């Protein structure tokens, strides 16, 4: 029996690699992404590569409750209840805290924390009904150790780590696990946009490479294996955990 997974922000970057891994493991996947064309293109590509209609792409702005609810309803109507929720969407612009303003804070909080919380609130009742569920929040090492220029984003990611742990406690007896996965610097459009194309960006990129014990940045596929594992039956006794996938950049006890 195929389970249904939702991957938010699955049109590209880390989310696309997660969607591909979950489909390869036999799940059906709904990609909810603000970029409808890219979501549908990625869904088609993954479906072709696994040889079945495993993935659909649906437009949703996760920072807008009405938009994600409409998308969720459409997915459930078409594919049934959701068993696996991967809150992967994330967004930020690197800026010193004092350069940010309240409009920016609101956007960062809406995309990285409030939106994922609202979607999770809608999905958990389906998991309770099935007495089985997997919630995987893609947080960030910024939420564990801080990250200069990312104050509010770091606050949200730390918030998502606390949220994951509390869900783990509240729903453990219903066979629903909840974990946070923290990417370190990973080669995706998000990181590349933040670094920019100039000399400074290149220097930061090279500096990151030097600082990472494995001497390279993460690739989206590096994250997918951990998420696929946590989403499956073999991870049924792992809950409330925060796992960094960062080539050893951060080693938290």
State yes or no: residue 9 binds ligand NAD (CB under 6 A): yes
State yes or no: residue 11 binds ligand NAD (CB under 6 A): yes
User: According to CB under 6 A, which residues from 100 to 159 bind ligand NAD?
Assistant: 111, 138, 140
Residue in 89, 119, 123, 167 binding ligand NAD, rule: CB under 6 A: 89
State yes or no: residue 57 binds ligand NAD (CB under 6 A): no
**Which lies closer to ligand NAD via its Cβ, residue 28 or residue 154?**
154
Residues forming the active site: 153
- Enumerate residues 6+ apart whose C-beta is below 8 A from 92: 108, 112, 150, 152, 153, 190, 194
State yes or no: residue 35 binds ligand NAD (CB under 6 A): yes
Angle at 194 between CA 34 and CA 210, to 5 degrees: 130
Report the 3 state secondary structure along the chain.
CCCEEEEECCCCHHHHHHHHHHHHCCCEEEEEECCHHHHHHHHHHHHHHHCCCCEEEEECCCCCHHHHHHHHHHHHHHHCCCCEEEECCCCCCCCCHHHCCHHHHHHHHHHHHHHHHHHHHHHHHHHHHHCCEEEEEECCCHHHHCCCCCHHHHHHHHHHHHHHHHHHHHHHHHCEEEEEEEECCECCHHHHHHHCCCHHHHHHHHHHHHHCCCCCCECHHHHHHHHHHHCCHHHCCCCCCEEEECCCCCCCC
Least distance to ligand NAD, CB of residue 251, Å = 16
Find the length of the chain: 253
Least distance to ligand NAD, CB of residue 183, Å = 4
Site map for ligand NAD, 187-226, x if CB under 6 A?
Answer: -xxxx-----------------------------------
- Enumerate residues 6+ apart whose C-beta is below 8 A from 91: 107, 108, 111, 112, 190
Least distance to ligand NAD, CB of residue 189, Å = 4
State yes or no: residue 63 binds ligand NAD (CB under 6 A): yes
Least distance to ligand NAD, CB of residue 137, Å = 8
- Rounded Cα gap, residues 13 and 35, in angstroms: 13
Least distance to ligand NAD, CB of residue 129, Å = 26
**Which lies closer to ligand NAD via its Cβ, residue 12 or residue 228?**
12
Residue in 159, 183, 228, 247 binding ligand NAD, rule: CB under 6 A: 183
**Which lies closer to ligand NAD via its Cβ, residue 50 or residue 190?**
190
Residue in 19, 55, 62, 75 binding ligand NAD, rule: CB under 6 A: 62
Least distance to ligand NAD, CB of residue 130, Å = 25
Residue in 12, 57, 228, 247 binding ligand NAD, rule: CB under 6 A: 12
Residues that bind ligand NAD (CB under 6 A): 8-9, 11-15, 33-35, 60-63, 88-91, 111, 138, 140, 183, 185-186, 188-191
């Amino acid at each position: 029996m195929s389970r249904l997974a939702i991957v938010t922000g699955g049109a590209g970057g880390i989310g696309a690699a997660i969607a591909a891994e979950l489909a390869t493991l036999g799940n059906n996947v709904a990609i909810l992404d603000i970029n409808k064309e890219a979501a549908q293109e990625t869904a088609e590509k993954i479906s072709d590569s696994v040889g079945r209609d495993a993935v659909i792409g649906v437009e949703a702005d996760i920072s807008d409750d009405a938009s994600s609810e409409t998308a969720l309803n459409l997915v459930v109507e078409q594919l049934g209840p959701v068993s696996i929720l991967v809150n992967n969407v994330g967004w930020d612009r690197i800026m010193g805290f004092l350069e940010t303003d309240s409009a920016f804070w609101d956007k960062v909080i809406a995309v990285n924390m409030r939106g994922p919380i609202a979607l999770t609130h809608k999905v958990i009742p389906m998991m309770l009904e099935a007495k089985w569920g997997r919630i995987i929040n893609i947080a960030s090492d910024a939420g564990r150790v801080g990250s200069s220029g990312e104050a509010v984003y770091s606050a949200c990611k730390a918030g998502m780590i606390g949220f994951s742990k509390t869900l783990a406690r509240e729903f453990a007896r219903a066979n629903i696990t909840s974990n946070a996965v923290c990417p370190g610097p990973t080669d995706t459009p998000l990181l590349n946009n933040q670094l920019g194309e100039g000399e400074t960006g290149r220097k930061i990129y090279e500096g990151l490479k030097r600082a990472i014990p494995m001497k390279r940045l993460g690739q989206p596929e590096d994250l997918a294996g951990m998420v696929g594992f946590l989403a499956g039956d073999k991870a049924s006794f792992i809950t409330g955990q925060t796992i960094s996938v960062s080539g050893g950049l951060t080693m938290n006890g």
